Amino acid sequence: MSQGTQSNQFTSLFDNRTLSILERMRLNPTRRLTNRSRGEHLSGKGGTSTEFSDYRNYVPGDDVRYIDWNIFSRLNKPFMKQYQHEEEMHVVLILDASSSMDYEDKFLRCKQLAAAFGVMGLLNFEKVSAYVCNQKGSRPEKFSPATGRISMKRLFDFLTQIEAGGNSPIELAVEDVLRTHRGRGVAIVLSDYESFGDLQRPFNMLYSAGLELFGVQILGPSEINPEINGDLRLIDSESGQTLDISSAGDLLGLYHEHRVLLEEHLAMLCRQRSGRFLTTNSGDSLEYVLFDLLRRKGWVL
């Protein structure tokens, strides 16, 4: 890509063509947990939106802008136009910025997906906030709740400048987020989920807070299909602990079994809380993940 082409891009996270497609997409939650204010998720109550619902008699004090003047001219009696109520869904983006994410472009993909989900929320009149969980014991970096196209560039700038490299386990990160978050909707947790902690408690907390869980696991190509043999020394990127392994090729079968069992366990935890789970490969094209995989899984429309 030439320097001139780069300067014309709205964000460095993905190209303008990808952005233009994202602007026409929306999230597809199943629980429809919303807040009582204007948004794009419809309820059965009366309220203000652009979709006509019914008429009712005028009552003194009503906003005269909603009188149907065509009917008034024929019947000489005011009738109020009613619209289907739209409620606002809060889209909460939780990004794992621990050191294990700083491998094989996992954190770049994490930021790209967060930006994509954020665009879908902002341009569909949902409230969007983002939390980046980095250092254990520190408050997550926060993108405060925002709505509308005007907030899109600010979200991109926030995501672009953050880096991975902390030691906060994802289970504690979720609890840190919920200490300050308010609002029902969808929580999209983007992580490699390479943690020894128990995720039942934080997932229960998300569910109890009225947030439908979208768990996105991001793994690198060599984590999904490692090619190793001989003797190895493994170093934990967050704790610094080492593990010496002889004849590593013999352990590949055990590794694959453990990885698949972990995915199945995480998927079960999400399903039990009316949520969803998906494993992605940071080596796959972003377009495939956004416009093929997520659509086939029913996460987006």
Q: How high is the pLDDT of residue 48?
A: 45
pLDDT digits (tens, 9 = 90+) for 125-164: 899 999 999 888 788 999 999 999 999 999 999 999 999 9
pLDDT digits (tens, 9 = 90+) for 149-158: 999 999 999 9
Query: Residue 137: which region, alpha, beta or left (left: phi > 0; alpha: psi -120 to 50)?
Result: left
Instruction: Quickly list DSSP for 211-269.
Output: EEEEEEEEE-HHHHS----S-EEEE-TTT--EEEESSGGGGHHHHHHHHHHHHHHHHHH
pLDDT tens digit sequence for 70-107: 888 888 888 877 554 445 789 999 999 999 999 999 99
Using an 8 Å Cβ cutoff, are 83 and 48 in contact? Answer: yes
Q: Is 86 exposed, middle or buried (0-12, 13-18, 19+ CB in 10 A)?
A: buried
Instruction: Find the range with the poorest average confidence among 62-71, 158-167, 204-213, 256-265.
Output: 62-71
Main-chain phi, psi angles of 61, to 5 degrees? 105, -15
Residue 252 banded pLDDT, cuts 50, 70, 90 = confident
The DSSP call for residue 65 is G
User: Mind listing the domains of the chain with CATH numbers?
Assistant: 52-83 (no CATH), 90-297 (3.40.50.410)
Q: What is the mean pLDDT of the chain?
A: 84
Per-residue pLDDT, 1: 45
Residue in the block written with tokens 């906003």: 63
What is the per-residue pLDDT for 4?
A: 45
pLDDT, one tens digit per residue, over 194-251 is 887 889 999 999 999 999 999 999 999 999 988 766 566 656 555 667 766 666 666 7
